Amino acid sequence: MDKTDPPKEHKDIPGRSLIDIVFSWSLRDVLNKDLYKSQVKVIPDKFNSTKAYLNSFILPLIEETHADLLSSVTTVQNAPSLQILSFEPSKDHNSPKNLTYDLRFEMGDFEKSKGSYEPSAGDLLALTGIRPKCIEDLNRLKNPYLIAYVIQVYSDNPLRLLILSSKPLMVEENKENRKVSLFVVFLTNMITNIRIWKTLNSNPEEANMNVIKEILQPSPADGENCTRCLYERSCGTSPSCSRTIVESFGLNDSQEATVLTCIGDSSCHHQNTVRLVWGPPGTGKTKTIGVLLFALLRMKCRTVTCAPTNTAVLQVASRLMSFVSASAKYHTYGLGDIVLFGNRARMKIDGNDELLDIFLDNRVDILSKCFCPLSGWKVSLRSMIDLIEDPVGLYYRYLESRKKSDKKEDDYNIKDKVIIRDQEKEEENVHNFERKSNNKTKVKQVASHKEKDVQEAETCDDDPLTCIEFVKKTFNSISQQLRFCIVNLCTHLPTRCISLQMAKNMMRALDMLTSLEILSHGGEFLQKDQYNSEYEIKVDDLKKLSLSREEFLQLLKSFPQSFLEDIPDFGVNIKDFCLANACLLFCTASGSSKLHGPGGFDLLVIDEAAQLKECESTIPLQLPGLHHAILIGDERQLSAMVQSKIAEKAEFGRSLFERLALLGHKKHLLNTQYRMHPSISLFPNKEFYNKQILDAPTVKNKSYMKQLLQGNMYGPYSFINISCGKEQADKARSLKNMVEVAVVCEIVASLFKEFTCKRQKFSVGVISPYKAQVYAIEEKFEKKYDRSADSDFSISVRSVDGFQGSEEDVIIISTVRSNGNGSVGFLSNRQRANVALTRARYCCWILGNEATLLKSGSVWRKLVIDAKERKCFYNADEDKRLAKAMTTALIELEQFEILLNMNFPMFKDATWKVCFSDGFWSSVAGIKNTQTINQLLTLLEKLSSGWRLMPNKMTRYVLDSSSAFLELYPVNDLLKLLWTVDIIKENSHYIQVLKLWDILPLQDVPKLAEYLDSLFVNYTVDKINRCKYRSLERGLVVPMKWPVNHSGVVRSIGYEADSAQLLSETFAALGIVDGSIPTATTSNQRLKYSREEILALQHSPLSLNSPVDTGKVEASSELEKLLVGRQLRC
């Protein structure tokens, strides 16, 4: 069968024709990445008809679905898999066309499965005989490749799924006559693609194509204001208070002009329009949308607002709610005109009370309780009126019912007898109600509880309540439910069903109800003398109701007993009612498919429109009655993600916003940014927006400058060069750079330390284009910092794609790439770079390899050059903490060659030059404990600065033949660092250096000492002595140096050599200051010493190893005083 020839749509399963195409693929087809390569064509820029327009997306959509499945199959070993408890054909099973089955699982199995998978409609599953460990396990001899589509999920226990299978399910029995196990494996979810598929295959004659016709062949002239509307406004025939509303929000000129233009579109009946609003980073796009929607709400304009993701939808809805709450005229009245709907779990709506007030599922739950025929508004209102009007009559019936021995009360008396128990249960339900999966089931449950209460009441032998007790308990019980209904009806009913005056009266009744409750608790509702022991009621006294009670009664009687006479109390009709009567609706673009029913819309607003695939935007663009669409976005930021490279080349990921912008469609630019410090916005503005964006006065204010860490490197904007990094691929072929990870961790640790000192609240974001880098950083941060967004020190680590639309106080960008050929892969994408560089408010610090980025020829080359020109370029090793962190990372990676080639970053500015033996690196490579490595580096850092142990704490190992000294310093309780002072030639001088030989346990030192003895025996006496020379400056040992012409350092000389001449030359070397070489003595006097003194000097250390905190240079003789004189540092 041709892969593109879909069967007819099944009437009960949406998108059945696309599902059947997927079912038609063999495993070989799935693994063939070029299956549709020859069929997919590039989506054109213009179209001749709506049919051609919709058809242009069909093959790319099939290819993208194929790529999604291919990606899932190739990583099937990581997918969650569950064992089927049982299965059976469903009632609609019809072989071979409709292979539907009911599958049952144990609920606990889902908790044990990999990841956090919860089944949902639209899931595509593989059915296998074993838990797959490789692709081949999906197509075994006895269990050929079989997949299924989840039609519905039932929240039963055991969990039940209704699936459509690609082949009949058959389970063989083994030799023991036991059924072989069957598993389901989650592959992907098709729900969004199916919704797109349905829209693309809609009948152009039946669907609303008003807006789509305007985008087939757009021109630069499109987007201009309607001339007829302009004329009507100029003539004053269309007065509006919208300008007053908009002006009250303090928008800038570009924002205000955009909002007013969009409002004008919403009221235009002369033409269909598509408006583009261009919102670069930080330009107040969300506020602009919020103000627009607030004005449309006041105008009662039916508007759908959608976005590609739940996050973007919630962000806009939250901004609107902040405006609505701040301007609410009467409590929460009017929120019924706003509806937010979608997947509750994915939206993470619980806990956000403000958004819960407009969330559809929550609203349906509450209104279902308010309209419950057994305990809702109607019953509560009638019961309260009866109690206020005739409390004695109710009490009398209560008593009469108890006197009847045969307990055959009529239905009305039964209701009175159990009213207290019933209302107490309803009160509990009001405060603790849970989401109902089936309202009819709930009715049965309530009825069951009532029947049980009646039985309990009939068998109750307790003494009857007194009149006061009866009235108080009855009043309190009814008032709780009445209060619940009043508050929630005012909140959740659309204003079409409840007027403002009605809401005010109901809230007034609520206040009066509270007053009467106080009277009731005080015992003044009824007095004790109003009845006698024979229950003779003094009716006259009881009828003397207070004015407040009479007023309350009249108010209650003025309320309608039902607000929704035209719909049933239960079922999905309440949900449809809420959607049909709302003014503003919020959902994802995919979720807007649920609005393709009765009832029309005036306006569509799409936020983050440049991130929405054009084919997906056709879902909301075909909403019934729609004439106008407003697309808000920025095509210079990231576009939609596309799995298939074939579909990507066909422009499948391109948005409608981007296509219209490319064709010259007019865009309304928001031209003032309020997010970034000017130092941060400078490069993106120049590189991506042609300097069209202005910095708001707030960000240019001096108070916006935040110096969170000391040093110029940590100003508002900097590029931090990490030349020693090494990029490496993980199993999924994503890249990471552990040296950059170490630097990120060190910077964040410094920020956290600063936070703990000053308790200054700020947020930190770490961005990397590679998932492997994100995972590596998150692994280092695990349990170190509070990751919650509301923490005073919050930290977020995400990919560039995950950060679009977000912002943080500090952003650290890890570019990862570090290679010799300048390869940067998709890092070169300008849209990705733009997003990463525009997320920060106060500080943006970019980590990268200067050489690699300069060779890339991408936007990153320009960034490095710009940073250098602006003097914002720094080498990471300029910060000693970062140098140490990089060294630790390189040691852990065993990149010793890199360390040596770069002269060890942490020793770059050290007093002593440090040299290493091969044995040292071999021992270091064997250390796997990061704490031990850090202890070693701390010790080396101190040694290279000139620090030495106090004499009483030093351990020396003496080599017999050479009489040289091997120093042993403790790294920790187990390991010792073995080192000596050595002499090397550098330029025109011989200088003292530290030579690190090894890191060993104490018991292994003799072997190394024996080896070193064989090396030191070749040293001349003069060289050994120069190794032992010590010079102190401010309590620290500094290296000494001599001119190269001191040949005695390298030539083999004995004790018979002219040591006096050599010593004279040494004195001259010791007098070097600032590069000048004076004479041997400053007083032009010859120094004369005996041969014995000189030889003794050669065989002894040339300083007294005085404590390092004295800051003084001490010597035991005049000779030593001269030898440890003024020196140059290495």
Max Cα distance, the chain (Å): 138
581 is a domain residue: no
SS3 976: strand
All residues at 6 or more sequence positions from 1108 whose CB lies less than 8 Å from its CB, including other chains = 947, 948, 950, 1032, 1035, 1036, 1037
904 is a domain residue: no
Helix (H) or strand (E) holding 765: strand 762-768
Question: Looking at residue 26, what DSSP letter applies?
Answer: -
Q: Verify that 665 and 683 share a domain, yes or no.
A: no
**Cα distances (angstroms) measured from residue 166 to each of 20, 113, 150, 548, 1088:** 8, 24, 12, 71, 105
Residue with tokens 């808000």: 632
Q: Verify that 602 and 544 share a domain, yes or no.
A: no
- Give residue 658's domain range: 212-308+589-670
901 is a domain residue: no
CB neighbourhood size of 1128 (10 A): 17
Q: What pLDDT is recorded for position 847?
A: 98
**pTM of the predicted structure, to 2 decimals:** 0.80
899 is a domain residue: no
Q: Verify that 1074 and 932 share a domain, yes or no.
A: yes
Q: What are phi and psi of 970, to 5 degrees?
A: -75, 130
Helix (H) or strand (E) holding 392: helix 391-403
Q: Verify that 145 and 260 share a domain, yes or no.
A: no
Last residue of a domain, one of 836, 864, 891: 891
CB neighbourhood size of 442 (10 A): 19
For residue 648, give the nearest of 216, 51, 72, 37 by alpha carbon.
37
Q: Verify that 870 and 985 share a domain, yes or no.
A: no
Last residue of a domain, one of 534, 557, 580: 557
695 is a domain residue: no
Q: Verify that 181 and 232 share a domain, yes or no.
A: no
Q: What pLDDT is recorded for position 55?
A: 96
List, run by run, the mean pLDDT of 10-residue segments along the chain (1130 residues). 45 87 96 96 96 97 98 92 89 87 76 64 93 88 86 83 91 55 92 97 88 91 62 51 89 96 86 95 97 96 96 96 89 94 89 91 93 88 88 84 58 48 49 40 39 42 77 88 93 92 91 74 48 42 55 88 61 82 96 87 97 97 96 96 96 98 96 98 98 97 94 97 91 89 96 90 94 94 76 92 92 96 93 97 98 96 98 94 90 79 72 87 85 89 89 61 69 91 88 91 87 83 85 91 67 35 39 32 34 41 36 37 34
Q: Verify that 631 and 710 share a domain, yes or no.
A: no
Q: Verify that 947 and 1025 share a domain, yes or no.
A: yes
CB neighbourhood size of 612 (10 A): 30
For residue 271, give the nearest of 324, 346, 335, 214 by alpha carbon.
214
Torsion of CA 595, 600, 602, 605, to 10 degrees: 10
Q: What pLDDT is recorded for position 583?
A: 96
For residue 642, give the nearest of 71, 212, 187 by alpha carbon.
71
For residue 580, give the nearest of 594, 568, 590, 560 by alpha carbon.
594
903 is a domain residue: no
Tokens encoding 1: 């069968």
Q: Verify that 180 and 238 share a domain, yes or no.
A: no
Alpha-carbon distance 405 to 695, whole Å?
86
Q: What pLDDT is recorded for position 671?
A: 97
Question: Looking at residue 613, what DSSP letter applies?
Answer: B
CB neighbourhood size of 857 (10 A): 12
Tokens encoding 408: 């055959």
Per DSSP bridges, beta strands 989-1000 and 1041-1043 are antiparallel
1001 is a domain residue: yes
Helix (H) or strand (E) holding 521: helix 500-521
Please, what's the b/e burial string for 470-486 (b: 16 or more CB within 10 A of its CB; e: otherwise)?
bbbbbbbbbbbbbbbbb
- CATH code where residue 729 lies: 3.40.50.300
Q: Are 471 and 525 in contact (CB under 8 A)?
A: yes
577 is a domain residue: no
Q: What are phi and psi of 978, to 5 degrees?
A: -105, 125
- CATH code where residue 82 lies: 2.40.10.170
Alpha-carbon distance 88 to 579, whole Å?
37
Q: What pLDDT is recorded for position 1086?
A: 33
Q: Verify that 756 and 837 share a domain, yes or no.
A: yes
The total domain count for the chain is 5
Last residue of a domain, one of 843, 858, 891: 891
* Helix pair 880-892, 930-944: axis angle to 10 deg: 130
Q: Are 274 and 222 in contact (CB under 8 A)?
A: yes
DSSP string, 1011-1076: HHHHHHTTS-HHHHHHHH--EEETTEEE--EEETT-GGGTS---TTS-HHHHHHHHHHHHT-BTTB
| Residue 699 Rama label (left phi>0; alpha psi -120 to 50; beta) | alpha
- CATH code where residue 979 lies: 3.30.2310.20
Q: Are 655 and 611 in contact (CB under 8 A)?
A: yes
For residue 289, give the nearest of 312, 270, 271, 267 by alpha carbon.
312
Q: Verify that 969 and 1106 share a domain, yes or no.
A: yes
Q: What pLDDT is recorded for position 1073?
A: 32
Alpha-carbon distance 768 to 848, whole Å?
11
Q: Verify that 617 and 712 share a domain, yes or no.
A: no
Q: What are phi and psi of 530, to 5 degrees?
A: -85, 0
